[in-house]
Amino acid sequence: MVKWATIIQVQQLLHSRGFLISFVNTDSSHQRLVRSGGLDSLECLDGFRFMTISDGLPPSSGEGLKDSLAFLKAMKTCVEPFRELLRELHRPPDGHRVTCIVSDSVMTFTLKVAEEMGIPEMIFCSMAACGFMAVAQYPELVRRGLTPLKDESYKSNGYLDTTIDWIPGMKAIRLRDLGSFVQSLTDPTNDFVRNFVADEAQNTLKASVIIFNTFDDLEHEVLHAIRAVFPPRIYSIGPLSMQCRLIPDSRMKSVKSSLWKEETECLKWLDSCEASSVIYVNFGSMTVITEERLMEFGWGIANSNYPFMWVIRPDLLMGGHAKLPQDFLDEIEGRGMIVSWCPQEEVLAHPSISLFLTHCGWNSTLESLSFGVPMLCWPFFSDQQTNCCYACHEWGVGLEISNNPQRDEISSLIKEIMEGEKGKEMREKALKWKESAEHSINEGEMEMKRPHVVCIPFPTQGHINPMMQIAKLLHKRGFLISFVNTDYSHQRLVRSGGLDSLECLDGFRFMTISDGLSPSSGVVLEEPKVFLDAMKENCVAPFRKLLRELHHSPDGHRVTCIVSDSFMTFTLKVAEEVGIPELIFCPMGACGLMVFAQYRELMRRGLIPLKDESYINNGYLDTTIDWIPGMRGIRLRDLGSLVQSTEADDFALKFVADEAQNTLKASVIIFNTFDDLEHEVLHAIRAVFPPRIYSIGPLSRQCRLTPDHRMKSVKSSLWKEERECLKWLDSFEAASVIYVNFGSLTVITEERLMEFGWGIANSNYPFMWVIRPDLLMGGHAKLAQDFLDEIEGRGMLVSWCPQEEVLAHPSISFFLTHCGWNSTLDSLSFGVPMLCWPFFFDQQTNCYYACNEWGVGVEIGKNAQRDEISSLFKELMEGEKGKEMREKALKWKECAELSINEGGSSHTNLELLIHELAQLKETESEVDNAQTLKLDHK
């Protein structure tokens, strides 16, 4: 019952975050839940389903301690039914394979089954961290001869008060406080229940992750010790009852966790009582007592003369049904409420409740703390003695009753707590723990636990776009994002409306560093050396200053890691200085990085720079380069524009070569590509170079797959997008329009502009052409009137557009492109073939792959004339070559979609990347905790 209650709270929280849940009960508990109305006749919930496995127990069997031996033995029979169910779930017709298992810490048989099937498993521990640590010591207690007890006399001769001072994180605890099982007289080899509990604890420690229903402030020392001593990663996510009250999902309200029907009328009775006047009594779901003990408690509570509400389960009495004598019922009439079960959280939250007489089960203890209610403690078995010890001695909210209390002791203790100074102190401390619990689950505290990633792109459009997409994907998964632009690009983004005046977004902030450039300058195109120098030299000190401020900010959001552009590798040195892990994002294809990584070797072999201009046209550039890993039959000309340099000390060539080598020094490289597209070169990079490689593209499709509506206002365009072009496209037939865009950095002469213009126009197909204000070399692009007259009604000219939406539009048939990597990948992702006119950097490599490896492109000559251009368009729009290219493009579209769907390579790699980033946050927290502990000892 108790374990069911808390583990369903974990699932409710996961379900509220979009997880699909298969909740597996054993048959006996499931039928009891149905009868109690806990599942409201299993009302169908979207993404939340209940399933059962056989346990061999009748649904009528009790759950009290008297049935515990049969109950625990029955759990051992669940292995095969669980294995069979898991196989069915893992190969379902709906495609929803099992991502992971969250199993209870006394159901660890699931670990073996999970391992057999290759499914990750996490263990949920429904005990406190202190309770678990105590149980984990049982083998050592036996080894040291401290338990089992030699005879009955050891229970009362003071032996149980022996101080145990060697358990990590648990100072000066007594032997009696380590749970009921230490008082066993049975030989360890024959004590089934104790051995079961001890074995389950040891098995739990074999899991990769343990989840605790507790919070760090409450059990700081023991949680730190568990993290330090044992291998599993530890997540303390409680109080779960309070977490679930924050879920706004009304559909989950029908799912309750009670094995008994709750008598909610008790809440109305409490309404009639004064504030802080009522004693609440509940010994939990498994305690069983004698009739004599029942009446001692009853008269002790009654004789205190305070109103009380007492939960007496039908199976509370050992060997029979609990029935109170008439004289007792007459005595408590009007001030005593007896119920068989109740909604405990609502009761403890009620203002009339002043004190909780409890068995100290962990749920009851944590709920009492969460609602600020002090406790009178009568621990019964298992971990309850440990919880009692902490409640009374560590947290100051409890007072322990002796094991066999008489009525006078009980009534006296109740009066002391209700009226005396001790009770006043306990209430004050309980309220402080309530505040601490609330603080642990509030947004600020949760934010502290979120990984904080600093993203810094190279300040050009083709680099900002994909970095923003990575940032959005991480933000969607709960990461805090600091997106760092240089002043040059940031001001352009603001002017374009890309950031909607920097509207404040939860967990996503924009920051800037100085680059010494004017935002109005055309320095990127006109003076590339000045621009690259600014990135390499001017940005270092401002970035270092910003990073230190972020890492030691007063809000406590320390930087977990940096994701930096592969053209901004100065950040690697700064990250190392400040002590922050860094990952490099490469916005090129894997083929592009592999090429740039060869530039030093090309120079060493004397292949570049070219000896003079004649080498550009004399066939030399057609030299086959056959020694680059993963790149077969590629020509020198296909290795990027910089191989055509004739300068012995070409600054851009050196910059790109240096950045590529620096990138390969990173621990991780992220690519916007997918494995099927660049299988050979990705394999070669993984084999030849040290960094771990995550291919997680196409990023544009990843973001469309899980849209975050809060991020709609954040765009990454340096130009204002003319969205009316989409309406214009709506007026055309499917696959009839040519889309033309030479990207964000290409510049051309006026002559080349008009050759392209007339070549496109003479094809007689409708077209949409993006002409940036700075496309024309040395001036503003302006088209002749006769050209505008010619294309009227079939040509749409815009200064910038939402490219992904354009390529996704059914009217688009072909893309005349510069072959920038973003454009190439977008075109493949939406199944649009390409007419390729590569301009510079990696575009020649992308063009080669599009035309020769992927079969979706045809290259135009560098100085193509209008007749060649229009002829190629007609061939592609009408001929067999175009048909073949469209078919291949659609196949690549399917491959891209498969890669980002569940089980696809990019989906898997993104999950692995997010897991690695989360581990970095956890490592950071563990280091902080260790430093705190050192300071505490000092």
Question: Which residue from 243, 182, 245 is spatially nearest to 211, judged by alpha carbons?
Answer: 243
Query: Who's near 889: CB < 8 A, 6+ residues apart?
Result: 827, 828, 831, 832, 833, 856
Q: What pLDDT, in 10s, does the model give residues 190-204?
A: 677 778 888 899 999
Cα angle 616, 618, 621 (rounded to 5 degrees) comes to 55
In angstroms, the CA 464 to CA 496 distance is 14
Backbone angles phi, psi at 30, to 5 degrees: -65, -45
pLDDT at 33: 63
- What pLDDT shows up at residue 2? 39
Exposure string (b/e) for 766-790, b if CB count within 10 Å is 16 or more? Answer: bbbbbbbebbbeeeebebeeebeee
Domains of the chain, with CATH numbers?
Answer: 2-254 (3.40.50.2000), 265-441 (3.40.50.2000), 450-590+664-711 (3.40.50.2000), 724-900 (3.40.50.2000)
Task: Judge whether 826 and 856 are in contact, CB under 8 Å.
Answer: no
Q: Which residues are catalytic?
A: 463, 565
Best CA proximity match to 757, nearest among 798, 803, 790, 719? 790
What is the end-to-end Cα distance of the chain in Å, rounded? 44
What is the model's pLDDT at position 501? 40
How far is the C-alpha of 628 from the C-alpha of 607, rounded, in Å? 14
- Beta strands 634-635 and 624-625: pairing type? antiparallel
User: CB of 654 within 8 A of CB of 594?
Assistant: no
CA 544 to chain centre: 28
CA nearest to 343, candidates 320, 367, 319: 367
Q: Residue 311: which residues within 8 A CB-CB, separation 6 or more?
A: 281, 282, 283, 339, 340, 341, 342
Distance CA 747, CA 839 (A): 9
* List of E strands, 165-243: 173-174, 209-212, 233-236
Alpha-carbon distance of 595 to 656, in angstroms, equals 10
**Eight-state DSSP code of residue 123:** E
Q: Which residues does residue 674 pair with via DSSP β-bridges, in sequence order?
A: none
CA distance 7 to 201: 17
Angstrom distance (rounded) from CA 696 to CA 702: 8
Joined together, the tokens standing for residue 791 give 């294309």
Residue 211 is encoded by which pair of tokens? 């989840």
pLDDT at position 739 is: 98
Q: Are 386 and 177 in contact (CB under 8 A)?
A: yes
Instruction: Count the helices and strands in the chain (H runs, E runs).
Output: 39, 29
- Give CA angle at 827 (698, 595), nearest 5°: 70
Q: What digits encode the pLDDT tens for the residues 837-890?
A: 999 889 999 999 999 999 999 999 888 899 999 999 999 999 999 999 999 999
Ranges of the chain whose pLDDT falls below 70? 1-5, 29-30, 32-45, 58-72, 74-75, 92-95, 188-190, 247-260, 443-449, 495-505, 518-527, 554-556, 706-716, 922-938
| Contacting residues for 800 by C-beta, under 8 A, at least 6 apart | 717, 719, 720, 721, 722, 770, 772
- pTM metric for this prediction: 0.63
Cα separation of 194 and 137, whole Å?
12
Measured CA to CA, the distance from residue 559 to residue 581 in angstroms comes to 9
Q: Calculate the alpha carbon distances from 358 to 150, 261, 337, 344 in Å.
A: 30, 20, 16, 12
Query: Which pair of structure tokens corresponds to residue 373?
Result: 């209610």
What is the pLDDT, as a whole number, of residue 919? 80
Q: Which two tokens stand for residue 14?
A: 């996961």
Length of the chain (residues): 938
Q: Is 760 exposed, middle or buried (0-12, 13-18, 19+ CB in 10 A)?
A: buried
Cβ neighbours of 20 (radius 10 Å): 14
Residue 443: its pLDDT value, please?
Answer: 58
pLDDT exceeding 90 applies to what percent of the chain? 63
DSSP per position, 671-707: ESS-TTTTHHHHHHHHHHSSSEEEE---HHHHHHHS-
